[in-house]
Amino acid sequence: MSRSARDRETVRAAGALCWRRTPRGLEVLIVHSARYDEWSWPKGKPEVAEGDDAGVAAGAAGNELLPECAVREVAEETGVRVRLGRPLPEVSYRLPDGRQKRVSYWVGRPYDHGERTAPAEEIDDQRWVLAEEAHELLVRGGDHRPLDRLLHLAARDRLGTRALVVLRHARAVPRKQWGGQESERPLTLVGLRQARRLVPLLDCWRPEVLTTSPWRRCSDTVRPYVVGRHAALRTEPQLTEDAALQDPGAAASVVRRLVAAGEDVALCTHRPVLNAVMAALREASTRTAQRELPSSDPFLGKAELLVAHVTPGETGSRIRAVERFDVD
């Protein structure tokens, strides 16, 4: 490969800044690279199908998505299991072979601990340190950018967000090809695959409750996650297409309740309902988050999800950041 070709390539990677509050103050988790003899954030490249090396450079959506990569890499390099919080500033730098590397970071909220599985020749140590100490230990100047943002959020008491995941159901049998009741129209084989593929992506935020339209194509979209993660499943008639026709704002009350819930939750519904859903999200969003919300129909593709990062407050919960991910 020529030098110019390498320069055009971009290598994608992902990681997280795990944090906890202790009597000493705010601590963050860093790892030590045996290969480079330096401290950094836990991170790595997305896993791709065998023989698909180009996917690493492109961050191919058909393989491991960046949020999934971040969660896995933190677990492998530290043993810490995390839920992802708000996205943090990206870090970019040039590799020795001339390629550009871009690393996406998220806030990480630990919820469990296990064994570190990364090879010792790659990661040989990990350490919880005061956030201020991390500045001195991190060698790469770019690694300070996500840390500075994390400290800014902590100072404003906006670090401990909760996720509200909005999901459009997976691909269903076309209406013209279905002779039964509309509420019973099932997923196609592609839709069933999408539903299974959503499990590791939803797991990045680990919603504790899945609220869904009772119609089959919605409930079947979230069922693999509910069964695999033993999450609670709640059905809401206000999220059906019929409810949207009778009362276009029927779903808004469900969304408002979930924004105020104070827990990691998910909602699955239909395209005609998303207009009311987005309007309710917009009401609860900051100006910055409003600009990140989709503004036109169909709002989300089939099996696409939107993550709204919510913080509590004296005047009510507010959506501070929004992300979107597509399993296809």
State the pLDDT at residue 50.
Answer: 63
Three-state secondary structure call for residue 260: coil
CB neighbour list of residue 304: distance below 8 Å, 6 or more residues apart: 167, 168, 324, 325, 326, 327
Look at residue 314 in the predicted model and tell me its pLDDT: 67
At which residue do the structure tokens 């970071």 appear?
105
pLDDT at 97: 87
Using a cut of 0.85, tell me whether the model's pTM lies above it: yes
Sign of the Cα torsion 189, 191, 197, 203 reads negative
Instruction: Answer yes or no: are the C-beta atoms of 195 and 303 closer than 8 Å.
Output: yes
How much is the pLDDT for 318?
96
Q: What's the token pair of residue 256?
A: 């408002």
Per-residue pLDDT of the chain in tens (328 residues, 90 and over written 9): 444 445 458 999 999 999 999 999 999 999 999 988 999 999 999 998 665 444 443 333 458 999 999 999 999 999 999 999 999 999 998 888 889 999 999 999 999 999 999 999 999 999 999 999 999 999 888 999 999 999 999 999 999 999 999 999 999 999 999 999 999 999 999 999 999 999 999 999 999 999 999 999 999 999 999 999 999 999 999 999 999 999 988 999 999 999 998 899 999 999 999 999 999 999 999 999 999 999 999 999 999 999 999 998 767 899 999 999 999 8
**Contact between residue 48 and residue 64 where contact means Cβ atoms under 8 Å apart:** yes
Query: For the chain, which domains are there?
Result: 3-155 (3.90.79.10), 162-326 (3.40.50.1240)
Angle between helices 250-259 and 271-283 (to 10 degrees): 50
pLDDT at 51: 53
